[in-house]
Amino acid sequence: MHLVILLLLLLALLFGPQLWARSVLSRHSKPQDHFPGNGEAFARHLLNRAGLEKVAVEQTTLGDHYDPADRCVRLSEANFTGKSLTAVAVAAH
C-alpha cells in the first residue's frame, strides 16, 4: 500500500507541473482584440529593445524555440499570429 502511495506521489510530482502549465496556457489562449499586436510583433519589439535587431523571428511547425545556430526565434503558427495572452507570453519566454 505504501508503495502505491509513493508511486502516485512520484507521478504527481513528475506530471503535475506540466499538466498545470498546459491548463494555464490553454485557459489564456483566447484572442484578445484589444492587444495592439501579435506574438511575432511582441517578440520583435522585445528583441529590438534589447538591442538584438539581428535575431530573426520566424513561424515554424516544429514548436516554439530559439535556434542559436541561425540566431532565430521560431514560434508556432498559433503564437506567431495569435493575439492572446498565451501568444505574447510564449513569445516573451
Q: How confident is the model at residue 51 (pLDDT cuts 50, 70, 90)?
A: very high
Which residues, other chains included, contact 28 with Cβ-Cβ below 8 Å and sequence gap of 6+?
84, 85, 86, 89
Q: Give the neighbor-by-neighbor strand order of the sheet with 72-76.
A: 56-60, 72-76, 65-67
Is the pLDDT at 32 greater than 90? The verdict is no
pLDDT value for 44: 96
Is the pLDDT at 70 greater than 90? The verdict is yes
Domain borders along the chain are: 2-92
